[in-house]
Amino acid sequence: MHIAFVASEGVPFSKTGGLADVVGALPRALAAQGHQISVYLPRYRQTKLTDPQTVVRSITVPYDDEYRFCSLVRAGSSGGVRYHFVEYPPYFDREGLYGTPVGDYPDNAERFAMFSRAVIEASKILDVPQVFHCHDWQSALVPVMLRSLYAEDPAFRDVGTVFTIHNMGYQGLFPAEILPLLMLPWDLFTISKMEFFGQVNFLKGALAFSDYITTVSKKYSQEIQNGIRVWFGGRVAGSGGHSHRHFEWRGL
């Protein structure tokens, strides 16, 4: 099976916490079992690559005010895993991954929306996986976009999505006006999809649209489900009828 991991950090290339350790280890473990594994990460200032090669020179990402153009860099393979990096210096060539000691970068929604859309577009050129495995809010727009903007794209008709929650404390909360800026439809702004107390919640969107949801442990899975039921008006994601796909929760 071809599985594409999509995450905002992963060792040995970038790290702020435990997410990076999982993204560094799990793909290798799956590759050792015979799966074809790709990993997509942003190319940050701290990302050190040996002999990087540009494999997609230009990926067009539309915003409501202009188009932006990023590229995809390949850094070979290690442990049977092929690594790709989305490169766009205005967004990722910064001192920190997500912000400064003062706070988060104000354009984090735009940054990781570009990352998510670039991964989807690049996969159409390189090799569409059978499953996208996304991690935390920074890659949460991949399942959202696949089931909305790309819902009629035949390239992704049979592609599954897995979403892993590493830390519910970080959800990707942004003003509602971010939807048109990112060229996302307003019909996502409902309690059964991405709306959260008047804001847009990226992580909630991934829960609404992913086929399979996992957490870092069985206990953590049990701990967070009651809170998530409240997000969806008393329903667990997927039970509201807005998705034709079956949902399962598992703790790794």
- Average pLDDT over the chain, rounded to an integer: 91
Can you tell me the mean pLDDT for 211-237? Answer: 73
Specify the pLDDT at position 222.
77
State residue 219's pLDDT score: 80
* Residue 238, pLDDT above cutoff 80: no
| Residue pLDDT, tens place only, 181-192 | 999 999 999 999
Instruction: Write the pLDDT tens digit of every residue in 2-55.
Output: 999 999 999 999 999 999 999 999 999 999 999 999 999 999 999 999 899 999
**Residue 187 DSSP label:** G
Report the phi/psi class of residue 122: left, alpha or beta, with left for phi > 0 and alpha for psi in -120 to 50: alpha
Each as own residue / partner, the long-range contacts of residues 226-231 (CB below 8 Å, 24 or more positions apart, any chain) are 227/168, 231/191, 231/196, 231/201, 231/204, 231/207
Contact call for residues 33 and 40 (beta carbons, < 8 A)? no
Residues 6 or more apart whose CB falls under 8 angstroms from that of 1 comprise 35, 36, 130, 131
0.85 exceeded by pTM:
yes
Cα separation, 113 vs 138, whole angstroms: 8
Which of these, 169, 43, 187, lies nearest to 115 by C-alpha position? 43
Q: What digits encode the pLDDT tens for the residues 142-162?
A: 999 999 999 999 999 999 999
Q: For the ranges 78-92, 140-154, 209-223, which has the lowest average pLDDT? A: 209-223
Residue pLDDT, tens place only, 164-174:
999 988 999 99
**Residue 220 pLDDT class (50, 70, 90 cuts):** confident
Query: What is the bridge-based pairing of β-strands 199-201 and 195-196?
Result: antiparallel
| For range 240-250, the mean pLDDT | 43
Neighbours of 222 (CB within 10 A): 12
For residues 226 and 76, which has the higher predicted lDDT (pLDDT)? 76
